[in-house]
Amino acid sequence: MTDNPTNTTADATANTHAPAAADLNEHPRGAAPGKPGDRAAFSFETITRLPDAADGKGKGGARYGRTGIIHTPHGDIHTPAFVPVGTQAAMKAVLPESMRDLGAQCLLANAFHLFERPGEDVLDAAGGLAKFMNWHGPTFTDSGGFQVMSLGVGFKKTLAMDVTGMKSDDIIAEGKERLAWVDEDGVTFKSPLNGDEHRFSAEISMGIQHKIGADIMFAFDELTTLMNTRSYQEESVERTYRWAQRCVAEHQRLTEARLGKPYQALYGVVQGANYEDLRRHAAEQIASLDFDGVGIGGAIEKRIIGETCAWICDAMPENRPRHVLGIASVDDIFACVENGGDTFDCVAPARCARNGAIFTRQGRYNIKRAQHKFDFGPLEEGCDCYTCAHYSRAYVDHLLRAHEFTGFTLATIHNERFFVKLLDDIRASIDGGYFEEFRDESLAHFYGK
């Protein structure tokens, strides 16, 4: 891995729409018959670093925002980058070919859901996640920690980002029951599909993710909510560290044992909720282990999301890429990029699209409002996505009202393109030296300020 804070190549981010070489599905980098995956096939290089500033949130005014390239066995990711979420090895209502056409460089799937169906053995037999879903590019899997937590407390897709005055260690969403129980060794949970009881641990999560075969995977961690008490957060951080140590050991064992497979990078996950000392402590713990990158995870208060990234990056080696888990608010993305986030994933663009919420540079709007019934313009003027080039607001409005799947497809293509292009443009602004101007202009337009 290399660390070069200067802009060493003018065209490092120019070819964002080009897919990885098709033969990487059949012959990924660093895979040889009868040998363990070559770790050198995964690396990160910095292209341009934001200059430090008086108001920088890192130590000594450091700003950790940067552009770079993550090299993986199935291709490269130019960062900062948005990682669309195809939970069950599929984007809902959108083909992988369409995701490639709209500029997505990589996709993320969920280990918990793929464990439930079709099962990790199916993906292993198919040659791994990318080959299974005909995706010619890098892939991620998350560890299942969020899903297990959500089963435990009954929340589904989002966690509160402002819980002033709310503290409890027995948190259950209204009208839900607890389906997961955490102990020192792991988590026992009931399947939301059929009620079967299952067990996840550091070793089990590593085994599942190795068989799924993504280029980048995450250590199994305990995700708390902001409503948990300080004492529980402290216990959880230490438990996540112990699980992280076990994940590293099992990952190394499986890498040596699974011959002929490409190397899979393992990211540790930093927890600690909204406590600075816990975040810094957890970051130092994760930085001390032999991880390939870091996941900035857990529930984070919106008001300190940038600071939280900076606290973590203070402890992280420069040559480890940093993934911010589950973030897709425009202002949060800018704050996290400025303070060190390299890649971002979230289900929100696709989920919002299916509900009629359309993202544009001028803000978000509901396509199903009456005013769009006779609007034959694109979803967003000036957008270069397939939907905006061929279809009108009126048509997408009609499809969504009629519950036609094509409406889900068209709206999702636009929203995913919005976030992919936003990160592409942020990347260009860092390389071009105009990040602050682009940030301020983008936020003013999106939020009407």
Q: What is the CATH number of the domain that holds 130?
A: 3.20.20.105
CA distance 183 to 201: 10
Q: Is 397 a catalytic residue?
A: no
Please indicate if the annotation marks 144 as binding a ligand.
yes
Is 1 contained in some domain? no
Is 356 contained in some domain? no
Same domain assignment for residues 159 and 191: yes
Give the per-residue pLDDT at 189.
82
Same domain assignment for residues 83 and 195: yes
Please indicate if the annotation marks 385 as binding a ligand.
yes
Same domain assignment for residues 321 and 386: no
The domain boundary, picked from 286, 312, 346, lies at 346
For 412, the domain range is 362-449
Is 76 contained in some domain? yes
Same domain assignment for residues 134 and 200: yes
Please indicate if the annotation marks 295 as binding a ligand.
no
Same domain assignment for residues 395 and 342: no
Same domain assignment for residues 192 and 224: yes
Give the per-residue pLDDT at 426.
98
Give the per-residue pLDDT at 150.
59
Please indicate if the annotation marks 205 as binding a ligand.
no
Same domain assignment for residues 67 and 165: yes
Q: Is 345 a catalytic residue?
A: yes
Spatial contact of 170 and 163, defined as CB atoms under 8 Å apart = no
The domain boundary, picked from 312, 346, 380, lies at 346
Same domain assignment for residues 40 and 177: yes
Q: Determine the longest span between alpha carbons in the chain, in angstroms.
A: 63
- Which of 292, 345, 397, 431 does the annotation list as catalytic? 345
Same domain assignment for residues 378 and 333: no
- For 297-336, write each residue's pLDDT tens digit: 888 899 999 999 999 999 999 999 999 999 999 999 999 9
Give the per-residue pLDDT at 299.
83
Total domain count for the chain?
2
Please indicate if the annotation marks 143 as binding a ligand.
yes
Give the per-residue pLDDT at 151.
61
Q: Which residues of the chain have pLDDT under 70?
A: 1-22, 146-178, 449
Exposure pattern of 243-263 as b/e (b: 16+ CB <10 Å)?
bbbbbbebbeebbeebeebbb
Is 9 contained in some domain? no
Give the per-residue pLDDT at 147.
60
Spatial contact of 394 and 372, defined as CB atoms under 8 Å apart = yes
Q: What angle do CA 299, 301, 305 make, to 5 degrees?
A: 95
- Which of 76, 124, 142, 215 does the annotation list as catalytic? 142
Please indicate if the annotation marks 271 as binding a ligand.
yes
DSSP 185-226: SEEEEE-TTT--EEEEEHHHHHHHHHHHT-SEEE-------T
Same domain assignment for residues 30 and 124: yes
Contacts of 95 (CB under 8 A, 6+ apart): none
Record the pTM: 0.91
Give the per-residue pLDDT at 223.
84
Same domain assignment for residues 332 and 183: yes
At 194, the amino acid letter reads N
Same domain assignment for residues 116 and 241: yes
Is 5 contained in some domain? no
Spatial contact of 178 and 154, defined as CB atoms under 8 Å apart = yes
CA distance 327 to 29: 30
Give the per-residue pLDDT at 144.
78
Is 291 contained in some domain? yes
The domain boundary, picked from 346, 370, 397, lies at 346
Is 7 contained in some domain? no
Is 15 contained in some domain? no
